[in-house]
């Protein structure tokens, strides 16, 4: 019992730190895009735009970094942000970065820590946490497919 009390006390001493969400899966870019679209749809999100920075760089003579950026959103997220805190619209649509290396696709979200720090009070803080939780659930679905 004493150990649990000490662990809880230590946990309260260290500030919480949110990090970007990141998952990895052994698929190619096309399959990753299809799986992400399906995972997004399962969470009432849609792929708004895909930015193929890899092909754009390769066209200009640079090495292909095998990287793309996806923009994911929902109408309800926009309406909630407008009602709660219009500055949260800067986060929307949510962004995911896809990087293909050694036969694996890594998908990463933006880091929400700065936004959580910027909006420490409710309800904006709770909204950011909800978006982060939704992205985590969506990425978990992506990995399971």
Is the pLDDT assigned to residue 18 strictly greater than 60?
no
For residue 128, tell me if it sits in a domain: yes
pLDDT at residue number 4: 37
Is the pLDDT assigned to residue 144 strictly greater than 90?
yes
For residue 65, tell me if it sits in a domain: yes
For residue 80, tell me if it sits in a domain: yes
Asked if residue 32 lies in contact with residue 55, where contact means CB atoms within 8 angstroms, the answer is no
The percentage of the chain sitting over the pLDDT mark of 90, rounded to a whole number, equals 73
Each residue's pLDDT tens digit, 75-87: 999 999 999 999 9
Which CATH number covers residue 50?
Answer: 3.30.310.70
Instruction: Return the closest-CA partner of residue 24 out of 35, 10, 38, 13.
Output: 35
Asked if residue 90 lies in contact with residue 124, where contact means CB atoms within 8 angstroms, the answer is no
For residue 5, tell me if it sits in a domain: no
For residue 53, tell me if it sits in a domain: yes
Range of the domain at 24: 19-144
Chain centroid, CA 88 distance in Å: 15
Structure-token match 């890594």, residue found: 106
For residue 13, tell me if it sits in a domain: no
Domain count, the chain: 1
Each residue's pLDDT tens digit, 20-76: 799 999 999 999 999 999 999 999 999 999 998 888 888 889 988 889 999 999 999
Is the pLDDT assigned to residue 137 strictly greater than 50?
yes
Q: How far apart are the first and last CA of the chain?
A: 41
């Amino acid at each position: 019992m004493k150990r649990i009390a000490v662990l809880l006390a230590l946990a309260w001493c260290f500030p919480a730190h949110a990090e970007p969400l990141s998952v990895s899966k052994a698929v190619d870019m096309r399959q990753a895009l299809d799986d992400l679209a399906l995972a997004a749809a399962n969470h009432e999100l849609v792929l708004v735009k895909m930015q193929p920075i890899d092909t754009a760089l390769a066209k200009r003579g640079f090495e292909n970094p095998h990287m793309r950026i996806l923009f994911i959103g929902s109408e309800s997220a926009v309406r909630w942000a407008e009602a709660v805190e219009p500055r949260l619209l800067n986060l929307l649509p949510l962004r995911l970065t896809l990087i293909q290396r050694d036969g694996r696709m890594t998908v990463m979200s933006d880091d929400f820590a700065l936004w959580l720090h910027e909006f420490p009070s409710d309800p904006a803080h709770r909204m950011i946490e909800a978006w982060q939780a939704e992205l985590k659930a969506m990425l978990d679905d992506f990995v399971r497919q």
